[in-house]
């Protein structure tokens, strides 16, 4: 089923992105397009294959560079310490992993975990922060079935990715499982701007200028049309907080950035 409106979704439509509904209907959405669960996973893989090697450049252009500030603010909330172990789920080209590695130092360990090898490789071969990139461990794997034992990491983080995971609740339970008791968690995601006038400007930018830039710079209009669609269907901050609590996380807090375009949720695994 194809949706034809760029409007922010109603609460029911957002709930339909969660595992329970997907299991009942055996259908999932990638942007406004409804697919089978298997089709969505394949579509997400093709999507990131197509943008991998220009992904960072496009993020910087489309966000005017602000995405780096969001990541820095978000990772500061984790209060990383030298020697800690960190798992960056759906780590992509490694921005959060690099920031984390610089903070945990030589004695610490950062594992970048992503299902898409093209994204991993695009980050590994970048010349910037080359020494830090070489000190990160890279593992290809599925966020819904994380291939590490219970209680492995001091910190688990995921940035701008859970919208694309087919079974979001399952992935959060996995992230909770691999945390040590007392370990910290970060989820950084896009959300709905707070001020109506700013939201209207953001909508125009998202559905008109963003696809045009994607087409002109990468020949990928569809990829950059789908991006704002996934954001419009994603949970509001309070709704995501409840999903995280249900997955087992405690002390959930969140911070809106740039009028709510990005939101950082933090929590811990109970002792």
Average pLDDT, the chain: 93
Residue 250, burial from CB neighbour count under 10 angstroms (0-12, 13-18, 19+) = middle
Output 13 or 266, whichever has higher pLDDT.
Answer: 266
Both structure tokens of 213: 């830039």
Residues 6+ apart with CB under 8 A from 54: 217, 218
- Under DSSP, is residue 152 helix (H, G, I), strand (E, B) or coil? coil
Output 129 or 219, whichever has higher pLDDT.
Answer: 129
Measured in degrees and rounded to the nearest 5, phi and psi for residue 54 equal: -120, 15
- Under DSSP, is residue 195 helix (H, G, I), strand (E, B) or coil? coil
DSSP labels for 78-144?
Answer: T---TT-EEEEET-TT-HHHHHHHHHHTTTSEEEEEES-HHHHHHHHT-STTHHHHHTSEEEE--TT
Q: Kindly indicate the confidence band of residue 6, based on its pLDDT and cuts at 50, 70 and 90.
A: low
Where do the domains of the chain lie, and which CATH numbers do they carry? 11-269 (3.40.50.150)
The angle formed by the CA atoms of residues 9, 10 and 14, to the nearest 5 degrees, is 70
The average pLDDT across 146-157 equals 98
CA 101, 107, 111, 117 dihedral sign is positive
The average pLDDT across 29-46 equals 88
**CA distances from residue 207 to 9, 17, 67, 96, 223 in whole angstroms, order as listed:** 15, 21, 19, 27, 12
Q: Half-sphere exposure of 34 toward its Cβ, with a 13 Å CA cutoff?
A: 12
Question: Distance (Å, rounded) from C-alpha 200 to C-alpha 17?
Answer: 24
Q: Which residue has the tokens 């994380």?
A: 146
Please say whether the beta carbons of 205 and 199 come within 8 A: no
CA 258, 264, 265, 268 dihedral sign is negative
250 DSSP β-pair partners:
268
The average pLDDT across 146-172 equals 97
Q: Is 60 exceeded by the pLDDT of residue 1?
A: no
Residue 177 gets which letter from DSSP?
H
Check residue 4 and give its pLDDT. Answer: 45
**CA distances from residue 172 to 18, 60, 109, 166 in whole angstroms, order as listed:** 11, 28, 21, 12
Q: How would you label 82-105 residue by residue, b for 16+ Cβ within 10 Å and e otherwise?
A: eebbbbbbbbbbbbbbbbbbebbe
Q: Is 50 exceeded by the pLDDT of residue 3?
A: no
pTM of the model: 0.94
Q: Is 60 exceeded by the pLDDT of residue 176?
A: yes
- Under DSSP, is residue 27 helix (H, G, I), strand (E, B) or coil? coil
- Taking CB atoms within 8 Å and a gap of at least 24, the contacts of 216-220 are 217/54, 217/57, 217/58, 217/61, 218/51, 218/54, 218/58, 220/50, 220/51
Check residue 51 and give its pLDDT. Answer: 86
1-5, 177-181, 227-231: the lowest-pLDDT one: 1-5
Q: Kindly indicate the confidence band of residue 224, based on its pLDDT and cuts at 50, 70 and 90.
A: confident
48-52, 123-127, 198-202: the lowest-pLDDT one: 48-52
Q: Kindly indicate the confidence band of residue 31, based on its pLDDT and cuts at 50, 70 and 90.
A: confident
């Amino acid at each position: 089923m194809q949706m034809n409106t760029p409007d922010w979704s109603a609460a029911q439509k957002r709930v339909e992105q969660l595992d329970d509904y997907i299991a009942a209907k055996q259908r999932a959405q990638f942007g406004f397009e409804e697919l089978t669960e298997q089709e969505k996973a394949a579509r997400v893989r093709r999507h990131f294959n197509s943008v991998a090697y220009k992904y960072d450049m496009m993020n910087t252009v489309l966000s005017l560079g602000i995405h780096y500030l969001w990541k820095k603010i978000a990772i500061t909330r984790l209060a990383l310490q030298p020697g800690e172990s960190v798992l960056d789920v759906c780590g992509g080209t490694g921005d959060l992993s690099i920031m984390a590695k610089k903070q945990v130092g030589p004695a610490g360990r950062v594992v970048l975990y992503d299902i898409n090898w093209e994204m991993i490789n695009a980050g590994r071969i970048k010349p910037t922060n080359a020494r830090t990139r070489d000190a990160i461990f890279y593992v290809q794997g599925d966020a819904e079935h994380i291939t590490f034992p219970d209680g492995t990491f001091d910190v688990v983080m995921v940035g701008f990715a859970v919208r694309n995971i087919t079974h979001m609740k399952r992935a959060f339970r996995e992230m909770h499982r691999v945390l040590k008791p007392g370990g910290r968690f970060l989820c950084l995601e896009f959300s709905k701007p707070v001020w109506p006038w700013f939201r209207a400007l953001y909508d125009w930018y998202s559905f008109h200028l963003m696809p045009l830039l994607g087409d002109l710079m990468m020949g990928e209009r569809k990829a950059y049309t789908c991006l704002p669609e996934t954001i419009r269907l994603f949970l509001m901050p309070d709704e995501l907080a409840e999903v995280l609590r249900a997955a087992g996380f405690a002390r959930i807090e969140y911070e809106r950035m740039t009028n709510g375009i990005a939101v950082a949720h933090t929590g811990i695994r109970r002792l």
